[in-house]
Chains A and B, each alone.
Chain A
Amino acid sequence: MDNNLSFVRTEMLQGQTPPLGERGIVRWMRTNLFATPLDTALTLLAILALAWFLPGIINWLFVNAVWSGPDRSVCSTVAQGGIQPEGWSGACWAYVNANFNQFMYGPYPVDQHWRVNLVAIIFVLLLVPLLIPKAPYKVLNAVVFFFIFPIVAFILLVGGWFGLPYVETSSWGGLLVTLTLSFVGIAVSLPLGIVLALGRRSKMPVIKMLCVIFIETIRGIPLITVLFMASYMLPLFLPPGVSFDRFLRALIGVALFASAYMAEVVRGGLQAIPKGQYEGADSLGLGYWQKTGLIVLPQALKLVIPGIVNTFIGLFKDTSLVTVISMFDLLGTVKQHFSDANWISPQTPISGLIFAGFVFWIFCFGMSRYSIFMESRLDTGHKR
């Protein structure tokens, strides 16, 4: 018998690579850019639009931009009294460069800038390990960050103790004001918002009514109105002779405003907790505060992390409104310097605003990315 006889193929052919149109970049482009005639048209339109705008924007931002210079002449054309050729247009980063310290610290005394820097360094050193989930000593870190750091920061920034010269808040400005307002606003609005949300869901009618009135009133009016109230009406409410720091007044306005929004976010989380959790806690014999603090809030807050961070981002952006009650945060300082005779040029305002926008954007985008990261980390798969 011939054992070699075989009717079944024993050797397989080599698999062939897919045809050119079905692999690699060609396939990717076919499915993602040119899938249908409409897609093709849209892609071509988008490419045309990009080709039209992008070179101009890049030219303006980087190629034609002026990066350093002593005064407005470097950012103006000859006809405007500068050195640039006729028809020149580019970003005036020299303006940002020259006023950078102003944008960061405002009129804070120059020889005292190290105090602000020190606070910023401590802030970053404490915040970064708090944000990294694997870093140890979370509780200690949080206690230092939320209770000891504010005191240290207050002493360092305001001064008057330990031989530090006193710097009044009216000479604060720039990013310093933006970050201080946001940090304090966040630190105040979260606990206040939780209390208001619990109050709104309370069984006690008086407490509930007061919380509802507060939340709904604040949410119904614009922040500017609240800021005007804080700066014009608060002094009327206090006994004659007692006066409030202006910075503190703006701080109260911003924090109260954010806490009303925070309360609604937290309430959403509280409502999402199933009734069984409350009843389970009751049956274990836990009191109200134990039940709330150990069972309900940890679950509720976890559910609404995106909402909480969105409120933080909103608060951070809203701090820019203090410009309207003539305080100078980052945006206010940038805007204030537009009228600086040294730097008046057609390119100055737009360059300054793009810089300020970029700084705001970095902070807000960072917060939103971190919230997405935290959300996926805390997702225990119990979502219903």
Chain B
Amino acid sequence: MASQDITPVGRDSAKASLLYDPKFRGYIFQAVTVLVIAGLVYWIVNNTIANLQRANLASGFGFLDGRAGFDISSSPYLSYTSDSTFIKALAVGILNTLTVAVVGIITATIIGFIIGIGRLSHNWLIRKLCTVYVEVFRNIPPLLVIFFWYLGVLSVLPQARESIKLPFSTFLNNRGLFFPAPVFGEGSWLIGAGLIAGIIGTFFVRRWAYKRQMATGQQFPVGLTAFGLIVGLPLLALIIRGFPVSFDYPVLGAFNLRGGTLIGPEFMSLYLALSFYTASFIAEIVRAGIRGVGKGQSEASHALGLRAGPTTRLVVVPQAMRIIIPPLTSQYLNLTKNSSLAVAIGYPDLVAVGGTILNQTGRSIEVVAIWMVVYLSVSLLTSVFMNWVNAKMALVER
């Protein structure tokens, strides 16, 4: 492209040259594109206004203050009734989307790393089992996995009366998973304070240990100290206050379970399906990342006298993370977007709630606009955060 900018000089070619001048042609082409797009937008807006008038539909976001008038099956954070506003309904939807996305991302990462490392194992059986997992879940639509859990497994579980008993007074039946809910008595705040103090303490210990290692070369058992601080301090608080935490156990009644906390089958199937499905992709990313670190790196590390454990922890993994993080980000975003499949099984996420509003009020443009804004901002925030992580991990060259 660079060398085509020369305009021939000369009187005869002046007229012809304008036609053959790539720059001029570029301007013309762009002008035509702008005109066509503007015309199209004008046409669409005109048609939309005409259609809305014909169907007697109002437009604008004012309707959001109105009474929603529908129920939402799961609203763990906000108290929502059918008398609440549309805005509140949407907020419940957004929170539900974020909940399933965050929990799913954590689980998918754990499963994915285990399976991905398993695919590189020297153990033939483990390697093959992990390969089977990846090849099965990668090649099946996520919606099918969701239906599998929802229609195939969870909805054919026994009735509440014949609940499956699991350890720790947990019950599983076709209404979901019931488990004991902790009830925090008086003075429980100290436990939370202990946990936070433990995390902050770990942070400082880590910084001090790093400085000391840089200065003296001596290592400090940071991992053990962190474990002691994060688990020990809350435990200490628990003992000091005389165990203020009790549990509300689910009890089998005549027809249903009473007490405890319930995770509905919609959330469970969406969460399980998204985790298992995305884990297969994360496993492939992890495998590619670890394989991407040259063999010379681990050989050099062995030559320096590091054993297998420290080699993996200090040499291979930090370099592999650089390869892993960018595609991992897009998998996290995919999981968040795939959580919109909730609409197929009736878990009230953003799309399901929006779809209900759309059907009730007919405000398709506004609802779709809200969806786009929310998903685009979630995508943007995730990429910003992961870019920050990536920058921290990136190779610092001298």
Contacts and interface: CB of A to CB of B under 8 A. Distances in A.
Contact of B143 (A31, A35, A331, A354): A331
Given A33-B124, A331-B144, A353 B151 contact: yes
B139 A46 contact: no
Nearest to A199: B33
Interface string B136-163: 1011111110011001110110000000
Interface in B47-66: 47-48, 50-52, 54
A220 to B, nearest CB: 4
B3 A46 contact: no
B144 A39 contact: no
Contacts of A236: 47-48, 51-52, 364-365
A205 B136 CA distance: 44
Nearest to B125: A46
B30 A206 contact: yes
B151 A349 contact: yes
Among B44, B152, B156, B379, residue most surrounded by chain A Cβ atoms (within 10 Å): B152
B47 A33 contact: no
A318 B141 contact: yes
A272 to B, nearest CB: 15
Contacts, number: 166
A217 B379 CA distance: 10
Interface in A271-306: 278-279, 282-283, 288
B74 interface: no
A225 B93 CA distance: 15
B341 A220 contact: no
Given A46-B125, A233-B364, A233-B365, A240 B337 contact: no
B51 A39 contact: no
Nearest to A221: B375
Interface residues of A, number: 60
Given A206-B30, A346-B156, A364-B140, A35 B123 contact: yes
Interface stretch (A93-101, A116-124, A355-363): A355-363
A229 interface: yes
A206 B34 contact: yes
Interface in A316-355: 317-318, 320-321, 323-324, 331, 335, 338, 346, 349-350, 353-354
A204 interface: yes
A142 B138 CA distance: 29
B313 interface: no
Contact of B125 (A33, A225, A283, A361): A33
Chain A facing B: main interface SS = helix
A42 interface: yes
B36 to A, nearest CB: 11
Given A224-B340, A324-B344, A349-B155, A232 B144 contact: no
A350 B152 contact: yes
Contacts of B376: 217, 220-221
Interface string A71-103: 000000000000000000000000000000000
A357 B151 contact: no
A205 B30 contact: yes
A286 to B, nearest CB: 10
Nearest to A178: B141
Given A39-B122, A47-B125, A236-B48, A331 B351 contact: no
A205 to B, nearest CB: 7
Nearest to B46: A239
Interface in B106-149: 121-126, 129, 135-136, 138-144, 147-148
Nearest to B124: A32
A320 B139 CA distance: 13
B358 A232 contact: yes
B309 to A, nearest CB: 12
Nearest to A41: B123
A46 B358 contact: no
A259 to B, nearest CB: 17
B256 interface: no
B144 A32 contact: no
A318 B143 CA distance: 9
A42 B125 CA distance: 9
A237 B44 contact: yes
A238 B310 CA distance: 64
A175 to B, nearest CB: 13
Nearest to A282: B3
A203 interface: yes
A210 interface: yes
A346 B47 CA distance: 50
B252 to A, nearest CB: 21
A54 B26 CA distance: 65
Contacts of B121: 42
A364 B138 contact: yes
B152 A225 contact: no
A381 interface: no
B214 interface: no
Among B122, B135, B355, residue most surrounded by chain A Cβ atoms (within 10 Å): B122
A365 interface: yes
B389 interface: no
A207 interface: yes
B3 A32 contact: no
Contacts of B87: none
Contacts of B51: 235-236, 240
A375 to B, nearest CB: 14
Contact of B26 (A203, A225, A238): A203
Contacts of B358: 228, 232
Given A324-B344, A335-B151, A221 B48 contact: no
A146 B148 CA distance: 36
A238 B44 CA distance: 7
Given A222-B375, A357-B148, A239 B47 contact: yes
Nearest to B277: A317
Given A32-B123, A205-B30, A324-B344, 9 more contacts: A42-B126, A204-B29, A206-B34, A228-B368, A233-B364, A236-B51, A236-B365, A282-B1, A282-B4
The 5 closest A-B pairs by CB, nearest first: A350-B152, A364-B139, A32-B124, A222-B337, A222-B340
